[in-house]
Amino acid sequence: MDILPKFAASLMLALFVSLPAQAEAADMIADGAFEKGHDGFWAAGGVALAREHGKLCADVEAGGTPWDRLLGLNDLQFEPGKSYRLTMVLEAKDAHTFPVTIQRNAEPWTAQATFEAGTKAGKVEFSAAFTATEKDPAQIIFQLGGAQKTWRVCLDDVALRETKPDRLEATARKTMYALPALVNQTGYFLDGPKRATILSEATDPLPFKLEDENGAAIGEGMTAPAGFDPTVEANTQIADFSAFATAGEGYRLVLGGKKSLPFSVGHDIYGKLRVDALSWFYPQRSGIEIKGDIAGEAYARPAGHVQESPNHGDTKVTCLTGKVATKLYGKDWTCDYTLDVSGGWYDAGDQGKYVVNGGIAVSQLLSTFERGLVFGDGASPVLSDSLSRIPENGNGIPDILDEARWELEFLMKMMVPDGQPLAGMVHHKVHDIKWTGVPMLPHLDPELRVLHRPSTAATLNLAAVAAQGARLFATYDREFAQRLLAAGQKAWLAAAAHPALFAPGSDGLQGGGDYGDDDISDETYWAAAELYITTGEARYLTALKASPHWAGPVFPAVGAFDWRSVAGLGRLDLALYGDNLEPDDKAMVMASVVSAARNFLSLQAKEPFGHIYRPANNRYDWGSNQLILQNMIVVSAGYDLTGELPFLNGVRESIDYILGRNAMNTSYVTGYGSVFAKNQHSRWYAHQVDKTLPNPPVGTLAGGPNSTLVDDVARARLKGCAPQTCYIDDIMAWGTNEMTINWNAPLVYIASFLADAR
């Protein structure tokens, strides 16, 4: 059959280079076999040490908290970014579990890693790896307290050595033209665009073939040169095989003797991704045990931050105060109350919970449901009560609303209580007072948690998402819907009373991200939009029309919206669901969305990789993958509003980049494709540094290329990278490879749109 060419694209791939065998690194533990009497271990708080028969034995008094009974070793020195492995043999008469922490050797005792060690009757071998985050002198601490009776543990063969990964991933520019055709490794729609990108020194069209899973040639065509792409610093070509329309698996493109990674062609391409991307949120939950029979046994863990040692917990949290508060806010701001802020989702690779990030994330889950409700003809699986892997299956409420509720309940808990000076305002965030290391499971986090000062941005976030949730929960849980609406309206009034209470942009060193924002005009517009759609009250329409965003542009090409820029969320919902608007006003907002969608298609037509993204100066932004998804959401709205096929096909093609048609030849979604990201930055999905822990769950989106090299791994290994190749799948490369709730949420939206739209 004939396969027609169209336009070209470019690529640069990270090579996997096997390292030669290395001599064993020097042991950092002196006399870890306890044979010479100069090992350096110490004990405190009811722990007595005895060195006997080539072992170090600790007799531990009963009672106390884990950190009341300590065994330690000081004066260790690590190099940030390097990996280390701690090994030892533990011997006891019965079963005990206790934390082993690598931490700074002085105030503020910052933890670089915490492991859970265990004993049983007899000997147990312990081995755990971590990546260092600090160069300051460090110590190993065994927290042995809390047992009901006195007990003994003996250590032997304790060793701590630098370790190296089995494989080194590096971008090698000299190999860019040796890459195969770059394809969507998951698959292409039977009736949709099917294109691949090729990097080639050739400037003339090139022949290509399509092979089936048995290697038989079933089609051929010619590429179309697409020119030099500065984001990969290479010449590009595009192979267009859209005319091919036979469903199947294991297809490959062959060009110049090189075969692409395999892909499928069919109709049901994204239904599973919708389920996996949504199910990703369950193990991110705080304050609840994650059950292995739901999330998968590898992801089972105790509830995090529920006041059980060593956690300080989130059920009784006070406000930040003292020198840190003075530095951040210009005065010693605090509060005289405590809040139960348990629940919600852990934001990203850390264990902080941030209202503005949680706000946009939960909004986009709610929007996924609302789109399925309004544009899915009542048949979208997104309305199902058995869609995702969560404990609430079968409770009569759609799963996606159950998941959203977990965050909505938390957001309402962050509100300042009545009778307080800032009543109705919403605390900006809650997180540890110090950064913890990798790995660190939530239930092992030993740091104190504090509330940060309320902000106008956080308060308006709650106003927006509470109003949005109120209209969607009304059919399923009227009492909860009423509670949401009351909270949203209360937050709106509080924000109006305190319109300039901004979160500072300088507190990122205090155990969590800052999320500073001193322009709340977009949050005001968004909140007014959601409140108006839900209530139809004139006061919210008045606020909308007074906003600079009422008729102005709100969808920048670099990214239609993110946590700091949310006016586009309001505009989109007014266009899709603003039936309370007067006809002329509704026509205006609809036209603005369709116009923005057309502009994005024009941008896409110039992209050799087919994605909807071209940042300023060709420099890829932090979280570039989610920015692509956000732009796709605007284009999907163009399709919902007009039914015009180019919008649908634009979204179908743009997802190709996320799933492998990119300069890394990598799918940025864990578990999708032949080569995919699997070491996203996380303190508990940390298999790269601790083989007892899992990789991130299937359906996890990686942040993607970031031209600004902000972490030690990226600085060391990506220097001079072409913008689209500034990515490395390393757990400590948080600048390019983090995961977060507000990045997976638009993935859920787009996967759901693609699964449903026809």
Q: Which one from 211, 276, 507, 738 is the annotated catalytic residue?
A: 738
Q: Positive or negative, the Cα torsion across 666, 668, 671, 677?
A: positive
**Phi/psi at 352 (nearest 5 deg)?**
-80, 160
User: Contact at 8 Å (CB) between 399 and 390?
Assistant: yes
Find residue 154's DSSP bridge partners.
57, 91
User: What is the torsion angle, in degrees rounded to the nearest 10, for the CA atoms of residue 515, residue 520, residue 522 and residue 528?
Assistant: 120
DSSP 157: E
649's tokens: 């096909």
Alpha helices in 60-204 (DSSP H): none
First CA to last CA across the chain, in angstroms? 26
Cα separation, 702 vs 577, in Å, equals 31
| Residue pair 238/196 in contact by the 8 Å Cβ criterion | yes
Structure tokens at 656: 């190709």
Q: Is 729 designated active site?
A: yes
Continuous H helices in 86-190? none
Cα 330 from Cα 743, distance rounded (Å): 33
Q: What are the structure tokens assigned to 421, written together?
A: 């000076």
DSSP 526-556: HHHHHHHHHH--HHHHHHHHHSTTTTS----
Choose among 497, 500, 491: nearest CA to 518.
500
Helices (H) and strands (E) in the chain, counts: 16, 26
> How far apart are alpha carbons 265 and 194 in whole angstroms?
9
Residue 363 is classified by DSSP as H
Helical spans, DSSP H, in 188-338: 271-279, 292-295, 323-329
Beta bridge partners of 211: 217, 252
Residue type, 645: L
Give the alpha-carbon dihedral of 365, 651, 179, 733, to 10 degrees.
-30
Q: Is residue 350 flagged as an active site residue?
A: yes
The DSSP call for residue 565 is B
Distance of CA 20 to the CA centre of its chain: 34
Instruction: Report how far Cα 308 is from the mean position of its chain's Cα atoms.
Output: 26
What whole-number distance in Å separates Cα of residue 664 and Cα of residue 727? 8
* 270: its two tokens: 């994204």
Among residues 452, 681, 687, 712, which one is catalytic? 681
296 class by beta-carbon count within 10 Å (0-12 exposed, 13-18 middle, 19+ buried):
middle
DSSP 567-613: HHHHHHHHHHH-TTS-HHHHHHHHHHHHHHHHHHHHHHTT-TT--S-
Q: Is 738 a catalytic residue?
A: yes
Residues in the chain: 758
Alpha-carbon distances, residue 610 vs 3, 7, 10, 227, 240 (angstroms): 18, 9, 10, 14, 11
Q: Provide CB contacts within 8 A for 423, sequence distance 6+.
A: 416, 417, 494
Tokens of 434: 């110090």
Decide if 458 contacts 133 (C-beta within 8 A): no
Taking the mean position of all CA atoms in its chain, how far away is CA 682? 9
CA angle 424, 425, 427 (to 5 degrees): 130
From 276, 350, 507, 573, active-site residue: 350
Strands 263-266 and 187-189, by their bridges, are parallel
Catalytic residue among 211, 447, 690, 729: 729
Token pair for residue 162? 């630098």
Catalytic positions: 350, 681, 729, 738
